[in-house]
């Protein structure tokens, strides 16, 4: 049984979880339509690794909190934004801090896994739907009825609603607990990573610490570029490979390139040394399909050209069409194909592979660039059109709204902010070079960048999570330690999932551009056997 003082505290707080407790946050250009509040008891949620950004899996049970929902609008925009603030019901459970969580893909936020994670750590947790109820369908929120782009909603998605949520979070938390938050933090990955960079660049005083992982920092460009691997195949062959062919090519790259970093562990840690030409694999026989329905196929030239197009950067007249994946990235991320069992005379008994492209990219192309939700990219689109759209005035307009690649972080620095970014070397959605190039541009602008912004590249990790590599599940705690105690991290601790024998490996993820190197002594699986060089 909990101590009586805590019960009393929770009971008293529950009485304050009513709309009248919270006053209208005064935010220029924003109208508050309503504020609601209600108690949520016994909230439980299982959170897989990484869905609470940069945290390990956890099972949250029986948490009670005050759910405050603010509905707001920008007069004249005809938008409706919902922002939620989850406050630990018992004041003794609140750690005095605010944590804002971001979104992913075409979702601005209100991802309950992330909000629950923050709440379970004692934070007041805030997030916003950016004006589209977390819907991923751009034809609903990105276009007007006449199919013209709804730039107001795009602005909300890009950054406006984020700053407003930060202000609301701080204001309403003070209303509930009677005191200011001591520190405020932001965390997000992918779209959430872009949001973090946008906040640092445009609202540098909103947060003391920002964790911006695998950021889609130039969303308008990346949304187009992520179609390149498939469009390139369509241009050259009008066909697509079996998924098992792509998996076999990735496995071959790992086998050839894994040892080049000095340790054979199934992880490519030095992708710049990987020079496997997938065309040398053409004709090799591989099993395809499950053991019960499997068949044998030969790796096709189409698959090899697809892998080569995905692995290596491509540009046209100085414009990047594609920055290239690390060779351990799962090619199915952007070149996903599917087959079905068929009754035709096909030797394998399955249909020809059909493409399943990255949904947000297809939607962005159809809705925001072609202004036609029914646009058929497979019939009408090619690499030349991709180049022209990247150079178009319309894309320049979106770049001004959505890009978060300004290398000048001096205002964030001067405000005392600290930021960490990491991106996995096996990211299968956004090339790791996106984050690497941005960090280098900030460093060129300010050689002292490491005083306030640090970047890491964990090997073998996919987009935000997944992969056989070293997941940095304590990065947020590293950020807090840096902000509140001045201990800047020179490395993050990376931990793998258990292998077939149940062995877990640990390794330092070094501050870019350093890499972890095995010292030749001790267990390879132990972090202490590695140094940053």
Share of residues in the chain with pLDDT > 70 (%): 95
Assess whether the previous peptide bond of 86 is cis (omega < 30° from 0).
no
Q: How many CB atoms lie within 10 A of CB 416?
A: 12
3-state SS assignment for residue 237:
coil
The stretch 386-412 carries a mean pLDDT of: 95
pLDDT at 236: 81
The stretch 222-229 carries a mean pLDDT of: 94
225 torsion bin: left (phi>0), alpha (psi -120 to 50), beta (else): alpha
pLDDT at 521: 87
Q: Is residue 291's pLDDT more than 70?
A: no
Q: Is residue 125's pLDDT more than 70?
A: yes
pLDDT at 296: 83
Q: How many CB atoms lie within 10 A of CB 227?
A: 23
3-state SS assignment for residue 28:
coil
262 vs 75, more confident:
75
The stretch 370-386 carries a mean pLDDT of: 92
Please spell the DSSP secondary structure of 26-51, one letter per residue. --TT-EEEEEEEEEEEEEEEEE-TTS
Inter-residue contact 118 to 52 (CB < 8 Å)? yes
Provide the CATH number for the domain formed by 4-219+403-498 in this structure.
3.40.50.1820
pLDDT at 293: 58
- Choice among 11-15, 273-277, 429-433 with the minimum mean pLDDT: 11-15
3-state SS assignment for residue 465:
coil
pLDDT at 333: 86
Residues for the chain: how many in total? 533
The stretch 357-385 carries a mean pLDDT of: 92
Cα–Cα distance, 269 to 244 (Å, whole number): 24
Q: Is residue 379's pLDDT more than 90?
A: no
The residue extents of the domains of the chain are 4-219+403-498, 228-356
- Cβ-based neighbours of 496, under 8 Å, separated by 6 or more: 460, 468, 469, 470, 471, 504, 505, 506
- Cβ-based neighbours of 116, under 8 Å, separated by 6 or more: 43, 45, 47, 52, 60, 63, 125
Q: Burial letters for 144-160: b for 16+ Cβ neighbours within 10 Å, e otherwise?
A: eeeeebbbbbbbbbbbb
Q: Burial letters for 70-106: b for 16+ Cβ neighbours within 10 Å, e otherwise?
A: bebbbeebebbbbbbbbbbbbbebbeebbbbbbbbbb
pLDDT band (50, 70, 90) for residue 275 = confident
Inter-residue contact 279 to 253 (CB < 8 Å)? no
Cα–Cα distance, 473 to 1 (Å, whole number): 32
DSSP state of 353: P
List, for residues 307-351, the tens digit of each pLDDT value.
Answer: 999 999 999 999 999 999 999 999 988 988 887 755 454 555 567
Q: Is residue 6's pLDDT more than 70?
A: no
Q: Strands (DSSP E) along 199-243, which ranges?
A: 209-213
Q: Is residue 439's pLDDT more than 50?
A: yes
Report the catalytic residues.
Answer: 190, 427, 463
pLDDT band (50, 70, 90) for residue 239 = confident
How far from chain centre, in Å, is Cα 245?
27
pLDDT at 346: 52
- Choice among 114-118, 152-156, 276-280, 348-352 with the minimum mean pLDDT: 348-352
Assess whether the previous peptide bond of 513 is cis (omega < 30° from 0).
yes
pLDDT at 287: 85
Inter-residue contact 170 to 184 (CB < 8 Å)? yes
Q: Is residue 444's pLDDT more than 80?
A: yes
pLDDT at 4: 38
pLDDT band (50, 70, 90) for residue 442 = very high
Inter-residue contact 278 to 254 (CB < 8 Å)? no
List, for residues 49-91, the tens digit of each pLDDT value.
Answer: 999 999 999 999 999 999 999 999 999 999 999 999 999 999 9
The stretch 474-481 carries a mean pLDDT of: 98
The stretch 133-146 carries a mean pLDDT of: 84
């Amino acid at each position: 049984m909990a101590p009586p003082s805590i019960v009393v505290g929770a009971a008293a707080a529950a009485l304050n979880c009513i709309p009248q407790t919270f006053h209208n946050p005064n935010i220029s250009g924003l109208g508050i339509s309503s504020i609601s509040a209600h108690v949520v008891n016994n909230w439980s949620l299982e959170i897989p690794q990484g869905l609470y950004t940069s945290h390990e899996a956890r099972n949250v049970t029986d948490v009670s909190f005050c759910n405050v929902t603010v509905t707001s609008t920008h007069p004249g925009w005809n938008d409706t934004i919902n922002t939620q603030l989850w406050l630990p019901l018992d004041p003794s459970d609140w750690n005095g801090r605010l944590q804002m969580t971001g979104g992913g893909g075409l979702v601005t936020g209100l991802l309950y896994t992330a909000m629950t994670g923050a709440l379970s750590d004692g934070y007041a947790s805030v997030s916003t739907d950016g004006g589209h109820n977390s819907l991923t369908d751009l034809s609903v929120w990105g276009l007007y009825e006449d199919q013209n782009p709804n730039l107001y909603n795009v602005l909300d998605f890009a950054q406006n609603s984020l700053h407003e949520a930060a202000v609301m979070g701080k204001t309403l938390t003070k209303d509930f607990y009677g005191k200011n938050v001591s520190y405020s933090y932001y965390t997000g990955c992918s779209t959430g990573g872009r949001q973090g960079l946008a906040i640092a660049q445009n609202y540098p005083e909103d947060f003391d610490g920002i964790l911006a992982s695998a950021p889609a920092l130039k969303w308008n460009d990346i949304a187009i570029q992520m179609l390149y691997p498939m469009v390139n195949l369509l241009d050259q062959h009008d066909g697509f490979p079996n998924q098992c062919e792509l998996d076999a090519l990735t496995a071959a790259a790992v086998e050839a390139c894994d040892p080049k970093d000095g340790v054979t562990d199934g992880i490519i840690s030095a992708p710049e040394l990987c020079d496997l030409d997938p065309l040398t694999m053409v004709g090799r026989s591989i099993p395809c399909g499950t053991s019960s329905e499997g068949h044998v196929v030969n790796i096709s030239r189409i698959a090899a050209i697809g892998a080569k197009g995905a692995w290596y950067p491509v540009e046209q007249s100085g414009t990047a069409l594609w920055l290239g994946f690390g060779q351990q990235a799962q090619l199915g991320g952007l070149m996903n194909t599917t087959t079905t069992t068929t009754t035709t005379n096909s030797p394998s008994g399955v249909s020809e592979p059909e493409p399943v492209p990255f949904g947000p990219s297809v939607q962005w192309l159809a809705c925001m660039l072609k202004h036609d939700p029914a646009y058929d990219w497979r019939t009408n689109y090619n690499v030349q059109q991709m180049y022209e759209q990247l150079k178009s005035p319309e894309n320049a307009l979106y770049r001004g709204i959505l890009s978060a690649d300004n290398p000048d972080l001096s205002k964030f620095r001067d405000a005392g902010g600290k930021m960490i970014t990491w991106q996995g070397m096996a990211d299968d959605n956004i090339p790791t070079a996106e984050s690497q190039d941005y960090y280098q541009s900030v460093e060129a602008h300010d050689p002292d960048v490491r005083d306030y912004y640090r970047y890491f590249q964990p090997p073998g990790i996919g987009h935000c999570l997944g992969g056989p590599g070293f997941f940095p599940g304590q990065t947020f705690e590293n950020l807090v330690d840096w902000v509140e105690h001045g201990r800047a991290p020179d490395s993050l601790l990376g931990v793998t999932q258990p292998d077939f024998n149940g062995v877990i490996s640990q390794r330092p993820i070094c501050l870019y551009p350093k890499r972890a190197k095995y010292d030749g002594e001790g267990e390879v699986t132990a972090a202490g056997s590695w140094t940053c060089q």
